[in-house]
Structures are given as C-alpha cells and as structure tokens.
Amino acid sequence: MRVFRRVILPVAWLAVFAVIAVTLVKIAFVDGLKPDDAVAGPSAQVAIPVVQAARATVTNSVEIKATVQSDAPAGVRSTAAGVVSHIFLEAGAKVALGDRLYQVRTELPPEPTEETEQNTTTAGEPGASAPQQVTARVPLYTYTDVLAPVSGTLETLTVLLKQQVGVGEVTGTVNPGTFTVSGAVNAAQQYRLLAKPGSAQVSVVGGPAPFTCPTVVLKNNAAGDTPANAGGGLASAGGGSVGRSVPYAQAGPGGGGAVPEQDTTPTGTLSCAIPSGVEVFAGLGATMTVTAGESANVVTVPLTAVQGNVKDGIVWLAPAGSGPAAGGDGGPAGPGAEGAAAGPPQGPPANAAPPEQRKVQLGLNDGTVVEIVSGLAEGESVLEFVPGAPAQEQPGAQFGPGPMGG
C-alpha cells in the first residue's frame, strides 16, 4: 500500500499531466498554423428559362369590359324648303320608320314667257297703241312630306303651321328606345380582332342570361383622341407589331412565370346593338366575349418568348446543351416540394454562344400562347423570355434589412 501511494500514484499523475501538456502544445503550435477552412456563404444561380415548341389548340377569345348605353335620338330634318302646311303627329306619339310627321309647301318658280308688242292704228291715228290686257299668273306649289327617320317615340317636334323651314333644318327628334353595349379596346386587343368577328356573347351584370349580339362594330379612335404609343408602348418599331415588356430572368422564388401588364390605353371601341326583346337599362355593366378564330393542333410557344405577336415575329433559339427542366414546363421551379423535385431549369453553359434569332410567321394567339405558322418546328427549344426586355417589379415580399424596433 505504501509503494502504491509513494510510487505508482505519483507516476500516474505525471503521465496525465504529460498527455495534457503534449495536447496543448499540439493545439497551440501545430493545429494553429493550419489555414482555416473557407466558410460557405449564401449563393444563388440564375438560369435562363427555356421552353419547347409544343402542339396545342389556340382559341382567340377576347373579353372586353363594356357598358350598356341608350342609343342617341335621331334628328328629324326637313327635306324641302318652304312653309309648313300641315302637321300630322304631335310630340310624344309612337312612330314607325317612314311615318309622315309634317308637310312642307314649296312654291314653284314662274315659267318664262315671251312678251310680244303689237302696234295698231285706231280711228285713223297712225302709231297709236291698242290697250293690253294683263292676265294674273296662278302660283303653282309642290307638297313634300317629312318622314320619321327611325322607329320609336317622337320626342320633340318644333315646327308650327305656316313656319318657314329650310332644307336640312333639324325640326325634331325621334328616340329609338334601343340600346348598345360598348367597351374600349387597347392595341393588343385590336390586333387580335383583325379577323372582324361577326357576333359577340354578352353577359349583363345583374341582367338576363347571356345572349348573342349579332352585329359587332369595331371603330378606331380618331387621330388626336388618344396619344400614339402612350403608356407602355404596345406598338413596336418593327413591322407595326405589338411588343411586350417581359422579364429576362429572375432569381427569386416564383419569379419569371408572370406575364407583365399590357398597355391599357384605349385605341378603339367595340360595340354591338342589343337585340329587341332583351330587357336592359342604360348604365349596366357587361362583359363582351368575342371569338375571332380557332386553330387546333398547331405548334405554339408562350407569347413572352416572341418579339411581336402579329403576323411576323422573332424567337431566340436556346443554345446547345440547354433545355427545359425534367418534369417541368421549362419555367423556373417554384418554392416547395414540387419545385425541388423538378429541379432548376437547365440554362446554357457560362461559355455558350449567344442565342440565335429566328424569324417566324405567327397566327392566332389567346393572350398566353401564340400559334407558329412557320419557322419553328415542334420540340425546338427557345428562350422563354425575350432577351434584354426590361424586368417587371414583382409584388410580394421584399428582401432586405427591415425596420429597427425594440
């Protein structure tokens, strides 16, 4: 026991202290001289979305917000100059197209006559003239009936008996009692309605069931009413086609898939006369759905991939080695399990050549995709967004330092 306490135990303590000392020396003079490992920081990879041309059915249906309006009264114009000789109807009467409203009497000009002078002698007095007998001219008149220009209610009639009226003078109004649904269209919608649709489906807010409006009229705004290319510049410089401002590539969650807002500056008016028998009132809101063609099983790409969307356009072919993400539609993967499973889109390599431009012929579009008539085959990959187009600010959460608070 004495040997353990005086020999073995002190030796054990010395061994422990020696191990501790060696460890401290190693930490201080060996491990401390090694370079620190680089700390991994946050990083992000921006890939250019790519889509493939695919077959689909394109239905060119345009929805327009409209308003029900009363048709303006038609003016009653005198068709002859003269004096009112008879009034057939009074204000407030129901009239049909062509009904007689009042009558105008017009005096005819006198017919030209040849004057002859006869010199005779009387009672032996040469050179004396015989007295001439003057016959009074009977005036001649024509009578013209002024007719109702449209069917409806004779709202006003301002003529009086024996009143002098002139040709074209407005002497009253006829209220047709009909309605028209009308709405403003912008440049993009006008381009989609180049086929001149013949009818529209109208749904009146709080009114009857949707009905067909048989006659559609598309009118352009008069020059000077609307500034050309105001707002977002729908009309592009090339070929009079319509361009779109789209984001090129975005590195945030959910970025890159939204279509930017279009210019809403009115450039025309689409209207349609509401059929008789449909009960409506002026001021009601309505939606006009106009279908101007359908193309089935045609090659299509998103509108965001094309510069111009009428007749002629340009697409950018994806460089070799890039393509849409597996299991996705070529757009950037969104946050969540589905986006993680699909993986990020495969963009071109860093040293890849710039995308190649290609001209294509365009057909119908439905506001989301456009028909490729020629210039691009099914399965070819193109950039989903036009290169260099300005990015649109995306609504949602803003990343950055927040407000300081206690």
pLDDT tens-place string over residues 228-265: 333 333 333 333 333 333 333 333 333 333 344 456 78
Whether 250 is in a domain gets the answer yes
Residue pair 260/247 in contact by the 8 Å Cβ criterion: yes
| Rounded CA separation 124/73 (Å) | 78
Whether 221 is in a domain gets the answer yes
Q: How many structural domains does the chain have?
A: 2
Whether 65 and 81 map to the same domain: the answer is no
Whether 318 and 287 map to the same domain: the answer is yes
| Cα 296–chain centre separation | 24
Q: What is the pLDDT of residue 170?
A: 95
| Rounded CA separation 338/319 (Å) | 26
From 175, 197, 222, the end of a domain falls on 175
- Among the listed residues 396, 251, 247, 246, the one whose alpha carbon sits nearest the alpha carbon of residue 332: 251
Whether 162 and 277 map to the same domain: the answer is no
From 127, 154, 175, the end of a domain falls on 175
Residue pair 359/314 in contact by the 8 Å Cβ criterion: yes
Q: What is the pLDDT of residue 44?
A: 61
- Among the listed residues 361, 326, 351, the one whose alpha carbon sits nearest the alpha carbon of residue 52: 326
Whether 133 is in a domain gets the answer no
| Rounded CA separation 298/138 (Å) | 81
Neighbouring residues of 276: CB distance < 8 A, sequence distance ≥ 6: 178
Strands 82-87 and 74-77: unpaired
The domain of 149 spans 73-108+139-175
CATH code (residue 143): 2.40.50.100
| Structure tokens belonging to residue 6 | 């005086």
| Rounded CA separation 133/149 (Å) | 50
Phi, psi dihedral angles at 122 (to 5 degrees): -130, 130
| Rounded CA separation 75/95 (Å) | 14
Q: What is the pTM of this model?
A: 0.58
Q: How far apart are the first and last CA of the chain?
A: 67
Q: What is the pLDDT of residue 35?
A: 64
Q: What is the pLDDT of residue 241?
A: 36
Whether 307 and 165 map to the same domain: the answer is no
Whether 220 and 270 map to the same domain: the answer is yes
Q: What is the pLDDT of residue 294?
A: 85
Whether 188 and 305 map to the same domain: the answer is yes
Whether 145 and 227 map to the same domain: the answer is no
Whether 144 is in a domain gets the answer yes
**Residue spans of alpha helices (H) in 87-202:** 187-192
Which element (helix H / strand E) includes 130?
none
Which DSSP state fits 346? B
Ranges of residues in the chain whose predicted pLDDT is under 70 = 31-46, 112-136, 222-263, 321-353, 389-406
Residue pair 277/346 in contact by the 8 Å Cβ criterion: no
Helix (DSSP H) and strand (DSSP E) numbers for the chain: 4, 21
How many Cα atoms within 13 Å fall on the side-chain side of residue 158? 12
Whether 262 and 378 map to the same domain: the answer is yes
Q: What is the pLDDT of residue 2?
A: 75
How many Cα atoms within 13 Å fall on the side-chain side of residue 108? 11
Whether 54 and 187 map to the same domain: the answer is yes
Q: What is the pLDDT of residue 330?
A: 42
Whether 296 and 247 map to the same domain: the answer is yes
- Number of other residues whose CB lies within 10 A of the CB of residue 177: 15
Neighbouring residues of 141: CB distance < 8 A, sequence distance ≥ 6: 105, 106, 107, 108
Whether 30 is in a domain gets the answer no
